Amino acid sequence: MRTTDLLTVGELSERSGVAASALRFYEGEGLIDATRTSGNQRRYQRGVLRRLAFIRAAQNVGLSLDEISAALATLPEGRTPTRTDWTRLSRTWRDRLDEQIAALRKLRDGLDSCIGCGCLSLQRCAVSNPSDVAAQDGAGARYLPRPLRAAPPSRR
Amino acid sequence: MRTTDLLTVGELSERSGVAASALRFYEGEGLIDATRTSGNQRRYQRGVLRRLAFIRAAQNVGLSLDEISAALATLPEGRTPTRTDWTRLSRTWRDRLDEQIAALRKLRDGLDSCIGCGCLSLQRCAVSNPSDVAAQDGAGARYLPRPLRAAPPSRR
DNA sequence: GTTATAGTTGAAGTCAACTTGAAGTCAAGC
DNA sequence: GCTTGACTTCAAGTTGACTTCAACTATAAC
């Protein structure tokens, strides 16, 4: 095993928990980048680990890779992002999470009243018809995280 | 316009807010069913509206169509489901929603401590690494709803 | 009876976020 | 210098929940 400050895909995959195929995919999407050896193999700087942490965190908050990509694009070029840079990026998550929690609470409370009546009316029931929760036009909670279901068999 | 107690796809789509193509899809998946006219057109009983309400509600709570299908299969055959039948089906949602809310809260609280420190460590940070939240093996919150993002352009 | 509107089918397409496969190349240890 | 395991690329496949399309047929209103 080499002992450089640069990481191979395998090493980065192991340390980050992100599959090597996903790392290549992310590179294609411009989310991370790598230098190449003379033999064309990828080598990653350690900073990529933090970038991956950001990506995973953002996904868990419900952002799409496109949105994450846009967020990462606001990082300063040229210099290594500081703690403050990362903090700025993640500050908006707080609001989004609050919105999500509020939306779920609304759903739950609607359910509580539904369970008593068994209504499930398409017109009136907050559970079957939460359009006020994920508003089509106005402000409000539009985002809920992607499913954090039991890890699919292929993902560790 | 006919005035039967049976609904055409168009009418059902309009009243339920579910696209006609989705109704056909659901029929193929065995989630709903329909009788046919002599000319092979679908006609739906009004009870399908409630079934659709259940499906939408269950989706909003985070169930997949497969899970919904399994739940619907426990409804009594032969007779029209009663209020109590629907109530029984939806009672477990309450727990699932509670789990989801707890998971998001955990994420948010983790974020609150992260924002101060800018850590985003893959090993330690609860936001980038919420495996304790969507536990791989043990009990706990495994489910979060599918994204309730802004309605895609094609959906009314 | 005509016509406009609504319905029919099956196959193929979409989207996000990846994974898988095939066929070949590189690097590290002995 | 050779073997073994890790790496390379590009294309195609996967999943879930639908939508879209093309070519055709039914129904309702007049």
Which of A83, A91, A127 best probes binding to B when mutated, by most B CB atoms within 10 angstroms?
A: A127
> Which residues have CB under 8 Å from B81's CB, separation 6+?
B47, B50, B75
Q: Are strands A42-43 and A35-36 parallel, antiparallel or unpaired?
A: antiparallel
Residues B40-65 have pLDDT tens digits of 999 999 999 999 999 998 888 888 89
Residues of A in contact with B114 (CB under 8 A): 90
DSSP E strands in chain A: the ranges are 35-36, 42-43
Which of A83, A144, A155 best probes binding to B when mutated, by most B CB atoms within 10 angstroms?
A: A144
Q: How confident is the model at residue A31 (pLDDT cuts 50, 70, 90)?
A: very high
> Looking at the predicted structure, is the pLDDT value of residue A12 above 90?
yes
Is the CB of residue B37 inside 7 Å of nucleic acid strand C? Answer: no
Tell me if B60 sits within 8 A of B145, measured CB to CB: yes
Residue nearest to nucleotide D29 (CA to C1'): B1
What pTM was estimated for this model as a whole? 0.80
> Looking at the predicted structure, is the pLDDT value of residue B7 above 90?
yes
> Looking at the predicted structure, is the pLDDT value of residue B138 above 80?
no
